[in-house]
Amino acid sequence: MTPEPNYRISSTFRWLGSSPIENAELFLTVCGIEKCPADKFYGPAIRDDYHVHFILNGKGTLKIGDTSYFLGRGQIFVIPPDIETYYYADPKDPWHYTWVSFGGSKAALYLEKAGITASHPIRDTYIQPEDFLAYTEKILDHHELTIANELTRTALLYEILALLVQSQNQTQQSQDFMPDYSPELYVNYALEYIHNNYAHVRVQDIASYIGIARSYLTRIFKQQLKTSPQEYILGYRMEQGRRLLCTTGLSVQEVALQIGYGDPLAFSKAFKHTFGLSPKHYREQALTRTAPTPPQSPYS
């Protein structure tokens, strides 16, 4: 049996269809680009998958239930599954859009992280809509029926959703930040980064590494550890300095350099403030086993 054609092209239209994949977290069903004529409409209809449209030019209307959305360039609209929708091009300035349609167990989650839900089916692109067009064109260019192309199309779909989420996050203020993961996971990642880079780490470095706002990192640090990231970094440096003083023959200056202090005097002041003794006196008392036992350190 000859497979049904899944790729169509004309002067105003490119379309690629794929079969749904059972039990997949994400799969492409349709991708296309269309310059709609003034009388073009779809529906009323109920779809089985998500249809995400990126408006390149022109205008149109989306109707979901009793709500109408009047849309134009730089906006995204979504046709959610299992909901009756109707949309049509503006008669004077019909829209030109590109779209991807997909399903899967994580489709709704990824769109929610991109600021799109069934109750909020539109948003601005926040970037040039042509950035999304570039990805859909690549999908359409890989239309031949091969395993390699199937994998490429799926990878490009993931990239489109990643760009959607990224562009959404870049517009949000820190107080409106919607975390992707739990505070515990973010703090654990932050601690790992500090422990591996404590000699030269800055709080902004940690936030950038994880991909969250510095203010949010500080808030969850205080919630989880009852201290700020900056205080934790200082405490961890001091603990590493104490360990080096007690277990190596490095000079105070060398210990200072090891933990990120170019100025030994600054290290000595910070160390004395933490442990009550200068590094030299702490080492002397440790060697004679008379050094005071410090309280249980949260940094060790």
pLDDT per residue as tens digits for the range 242-259: 999 999 889 999 999 999
- For 268, the token pair is 């000595």
Report pLDDT digits (tens) over 25-65: 999 999 999 999 998 999 899 999 999 999 999 999 999 98
pLDDT more than 90, % of the chain: 54
Question: Looking at residues 199-215, what average pLDDT do you find?
Answer: 85
Task: Label residue 180 by pLDDT band (50, 70, 90).
Answer: confident
Residue 183 has what pLDDT? 87
The Cα–Cα gap between 33 and 86 comes to 18
Look at residue 69 and tell me whether its pLDDT is greater than 90.
Answer: yes
User: What SS3 state is found at 44?
Assistant: strand
CB proximity list for 236: less than 8 A, separation 6 or greater: 194, 195, 198, 299
Residue 298 has what pLDDT? 57
In what order do the strands lie in the sheet containing 13-17?
7-9, 13-17, 27-35, 96-103, 50-57, 75-79, 122-124
Least confident of 71-85, 91-105, 141-155, 203-217: 203-217
Per-chain mean pLDDT for the chain: 87
Question: Taking the model in full, what pTM does it have?
Answer: 0.63
Residue 168 has what pLDDT? 84
Q: Is 218 exposed, middle or buried (0-12, 13-18, 19+ CB in 10 A)?
A: middle
First to last CA, the chain: 67
The Cα–Cα gap between 122 and 71 comes to 9
Report pLDDT digits (tens) over 73-111: 999 999 999 999 999 999 999 999 999 999 999 999 999
Look at residue 178 and tell me whether its pLDDT is greater than 70.
Answer: no
Task: Label residue 297 by pLDDT band (50, 70, 90).
Answer: low
The separation between CA 87 and the C-alpha centre of its own chain, rounded to angstroms, equals 31
Residue 207 has what pLDDT? 86
**Residues 35, 61: contact at Cβ < 8 Å?**
no
Residue 175 has what pLDDT? 43
Dihedral-angle region of residue 55 (phi above 0 means left; psi in -120 to 50 means alpha; beta otherwise): beta
